[in-house]
Amino acid sequence: MGYEMDYLNRILLGDCEEVLKDLPDNCVDLIFTSPPYADQRQKTYGGVPPDRYVEWFMPKAAQFWRVLKPTGTFILNIKEKVVDGERHTYVINLILEMRKQGWRWTEEFIWHKKNSYPGKWPNRFRDNWERLIQFNKQRTFKMYQEAVMVPVGDWSKERLAKLSETDRVRDESKVGSGFGKNVSNWLGRQMVYPTNVLHMATECYNRNHSATFPIALPTWFIKLFTDIGDVVLDPFVGSGTTAVAAARLGRYYIGIDINEQYVQLARERLSSVQMQLLTLAESRPSYSADERQDAQDEGAHETS
């Protein structure tokens, strides 16, 4: 097709639906994004009425589908807004529409915000978590589970000390998936696979953007779903957090935002990250890819 790869490692200005039309098919390994939530923060960057959210989103999702490789993953950070005292159903409706467009709703992760402010509401408690919905184009996709293993922790001392009979034999999955959890397999192991609940603090410092997520969030998903040299897209990149995480992990990034100020902010953040990485590489000429990744992970990864 003769496409130049000049869209890589760029923060692009514009409506992602239009900007993405300049990208070739199947060129992205991971889409990680937090779109504007329905009707919220209208003053800051324009919200979308909850009842129109799905029709606003779907043409963009069609472009996401086109640019994502068949082995790629799309992670959507979103949460239902409360409208008239009840949760609006736009996220549920969106999932159903996405399935009609061909996406598989593979999994859902929960981001538990460890440090949310206390508060009191008349008919609900403070909102302490957000969804990260995983969509895929096909059943098999790239996944590097070892990259996000966690220390087994105190659980092992108590739980593994008193193994029941069921724990000692293969406890076949009730849903007939062919997988099971033979708990005794984990005896003596230092590291285990994590759950689908991520305990991460929000970042409170001001990045001149009102809706940033912590860098630990994209970092975790980038490690899980991509390899070094893969391409990560955030079509609603805001202050550039996903792109910064990707660059630090040795992945290519593509960031898009409709707001010129945020694009400027993201570009500044990225150029300072590129400078840091360059200095790092120059000070250690014999740095291997693995060592570089370990060094980049420090500080970028937050343990739960």
Q: Is 255 one of the binding residues for ligand SAM (CB under 6 A)?
A: no
**Binding positions for ligand SAM, 25-84, rule CB under 6 A:** 34-36, 45
Supply the minimum distance, in Å, between the C-beta of residue 105 and ligand SAM: 21
Q: Which is nearer to ligand SAM, 98 or 245 (CB)?
A: 245
Supply the minimum distance, in Å, between the C-beta of residue 4 and ligand SAM: 22
Residue window 189-228: x/- pattern of binding to ligand SAM, with contact defined by CB under 6 A = --------------------x-xxx---------------
The gap from C-alpha 171 to its chain's centroid, in whole angstroms, comes to 31
Q: Which is nearer to ligand SAM, 76 or 224 (CB)?
A: 76
Tokens read off for 106: 């593979």
Question: What is the distance between the alpha carbons of residues 31 and 225, in angstroms, rounded to a whole number?
Answer: 10
Q: Which is nearer to ligand SAM, 183 or 300 (CB)?
A: 300
Burial class (CB in 10 A: 0-12, 13-18, 19+), 277: middle
**If we measure between CA atoms, which residue out of 225, 279, 228, 220 comes closest to residue 245?**
220
Q: Which is nearer to ligand SAM, 167 or 203 (CB)?
A: 203
**Binding positions for ligand SAM, 104-143, rule CB under 6 A:** none
Cα angle 233, 238, 244; round to 5: 55
* Total count of residues recorded for the chain: 304
Question: What is the distance between the alpha carbons of residues 186 and 166, in angstroms, rounded to a whole number?
Answer: 14
Provide the 10 A C-beta neighbour count for residue 111: 22
Span near ligand SAM by CB under 6 A; candidates 123-131, 194-202, 250-258, 287-295: 250-258
Supply the minimum distance, in Å, between the C-beta of residue 147 and ligand SAM: 22
Query: With contact defined as beta carbons under 8 Å apart, do 266 and 255 qualify?
Result: yes
Q: Which is nearer to ligand SAM, 132 or 258 (CB)?
A: 258
Ranked by CB distance to ligand SAM, the top (closest) residue is 238
Question: What is the distance between the alpha carbons of residues 9 and 16, in angstroms, rounded to a whole number?
Answer: 16
Q: Is 258 one of the binding residues for ligand SAM (CB under 6 A)?
A: yes
Tokens read off for 102: 């061909």
Span near ligand SAM by CB under 6 A; candidates 112-120, 252-260, 267-275, 282-290: 252-260
Query: With contact defined as beta carbons under 8 Å apart, do 195 and 203 qualify?
Result: no
Q: Which is nearer to ligand SAM, 111 or 213 (CB)?
A: 213
Q: Across-strand partners of 31?
A: 74, 233
Residues that bind ligand SAM (CB under 6 A): 15-16, 34-36, 45, 209, 211-213, 235-236, 238-239, 241, 256-259, 262
